Amino acid sequence: MSSSKNSLLRYKTIDNCLRNRRRKWTLQDLMKACEQALYEYGMSGIGMASRRTIQMDLQFMRSDAGYSAPIIVVERKYYTYEDPDYSITKAPINKDDVRQLSEAVSLLRQMTGFSTMEGMEDIVSRLEDHVAGLRTQQKPVIYFERNDRLAGLHFIPTIHQAILDKKVLKISYKSFRAFEPRTYMFSPYILKEFRNRWFLFGRHTRAKMLISFALDRMISVEMSEEKYHPDPGFNPEAYFDDIVGVTKNNEPVQLVRFWASAEEAPYIQTKPVHKSQELVHLNEDGSAVFQLRVIINNELIRDLMGYAEGVCVLSPRLLVHIMRKKYVLGLNRYQSPVCNLTP
């Protein structure tokens, strides 16, 4: 049992004692009651319910940082509550508690708006009503990136429940390249969010390897009674360890080195492209060379291209070729009639 739990147990014990007005409680009596409570919970030791410890507990319970408990001393000897109906279990929360609760509700409101987890909207609304009665509502000071218009978010409650219950999902899915949707019987394992999009990982009946479906390409999702196929060997942390994003191919992990300009280097150093990122060399002009150990996928390429001329891939040769080709095609596109528009 942690020291914080010891303290809470002592506060509760002292509270029970002081509420019992049929008896007069000396400091020694409170010490013995706390010692007995700690003993019953398998805790005993020097100082856990000492005279000084109980005196500090009483002081804390009286304070604004604690419970603002109306503890008084009668006849210079006996402790009791001035209000006979008082209990720390009925004590109103203090201003700091209300402030922290307000901030927590603000964060919950944004999270439920993003994930639309079933049941959370009602819970958060009730919390908001309660907190609003405790203090004047303020605008949130922490904001999450969110996209309320993103398709497929309403499927999350069904998918989430299927993962917990190990149920097969019947998913109607239309990829960007398909003309018509297809139906899959899918054993779901995990949901993963990346750049404000949600992906479901698992296996369908014809798949030999783990695959992912984007929720915004799902047409319909419903529970099925077909046999669920678990994968005890699937470890999400290990699976995503060597990739950027969600796309994993059969290629090996490679050492990727790239140069970053003086303008982009500080940003890349403080916001790594991947957790394996290392600073190889910092040049006198402020530019730098970084390296990663990752599998090359589309998300990595898009991240690097997002820096435009601020980044130049140095190795491996295959990635250099891919990046160079994309920049050439991009330049040709800008020189084509499609982009030759008058502002």
Residue boundaries of the structural domains of the chain: 3-90, 95-134, 153-239, 254-334
Residue 72 pairs with which residues in a beta bridge?
A: 80
Over residues 262-283, the mean pLDDT reads 93
What is the rounded distance in angstroms from the CA atom of residue 144 to the CA atom of residue 196?
10
What is the rounded distance in angstroms from the CA atom of residue 342 to the CA atom of residue 339?
9
Contacts of 54 (CB under 8 A, 6+ apart): 10, 14, 27, 30, 31, 34
pLDDT tens digits, residue range 210-231? 888 999 899 999 998 888 888 8
Q: What is the mean pLDDT of the chain?
A: 82
3-90 and 153-239, same CATH topology: no
pLDDT of residue 47: 60
Look at the block and give the residue holding tokens 């290629």.
Answer: 251
* Topology of the domain comprising 3-90: Arc Repressor Mutant, subunit A (1.10.10)
Over residues 191-205, the mean pLDDT reads 87
What is the rounded distance in angstroms from the CA atom of residue 177 to the CA atom of residue 192?
22
Is the model's pLDDT at 129 over the cut of 80?
no
Structure tokens that stand for 274 in this block: 């991947």
Over residues 234-258, the mean pLDDT reads 90
pLDDT tens digits, residue range 140-165? 555 556 666 678 888 888 888 889 88
pLDDT of residue 276: 93
- Please report, to the nearest 10 degrees, the dihedral formed by the alpha carbons of residues 289, 294, 298, 302 taken in order: -20
Structure tokens that stand for 256 in this block: 């990727």
Residue 79 · residue 73 · CB < 8 Å:
yes
How many CB atoms sit inside 10 A of residue 97's CB? 11
What is the rounded distance in angstroms from the CA atom of residue 225 to the CA atom of residue 170?
9
Query: In CATH terms, is domain 153-239 a member of 2.60.40?
Result: no
Over residues 174-203, the mean pLDDT reads 88
pLDDT of residue 138: 52
Structure tokens that stand for 294 in this block: 């990752």
pLDDT of residue 92: 61
In this prediction, residue 132 has a pLDDT band, given cuts at 50, 70 and 90, of low
Most confident of 101-105, 143-147, 187-191, 203-207: 187-191
For the beta sheet containing 288-294, the strands, ordered from the edge strand earlier in sequence to the opposite edge, are 278-282, 288-294, 254-260, 311-315
pLDDT of residue 318: 94
Look at the block and give the residue holding tokens 């009674």.
Answer: 225
pLDDT tens digits, residue range 52-111? 999 999 999 998 777 889 999 999 999 999 998 898 877 665 555 555 666 665 665 555
**CATH code of the domain occupying 254-334:** 3.30.70
Look at the block and give the residue holding tokens 């995503």.
Answer: 240
What is the rounded distance in angstroms from the CA atom of residue 261 to the CA atom of residue 266?
9
Is the model's pLDDT at 328 over the cut of 60?
yes
Which tops the pLDDT comparison, 339 or 115? 339
Is the model's pLDDT at 204 over the cut of 50?
yes
List of E strands, the chain: 71-74, 78-81, 168-173, 182-194, 197-204, 211-214, 218-224, 254-260, 278-282, 288-294, 311-315
In this prediction, residue 2 has a pLDDT band, given cuts at 50, 70 and 90, of very low
pLDDT of residue 117: 46
In this prediction, residue 193 has a pLDDT band, given cuts at 50, 70 and 90, of confident
pLDDT of residue 301: 94
Out of 114-128, 153-167, 255-269, pick the least confident.
114-128
What is the rounded distance in angstroms from the CA atom of residue 321 to the CA atom of residue 315?
9
pLDDT of residue 8: 83
What is the rounded distance in angstroms from the CA atom of residue 118 to the CA atom of residue 161?
10
Look at the block and give the residue holding tokens 């669920």.
Answer: 228
In this prediction, residue 303 has a pLDDT band, given cuts at 50, 70 and 90, of very high
Out of 145-159, 161-175, 306-320, pick the least confident.
145-159
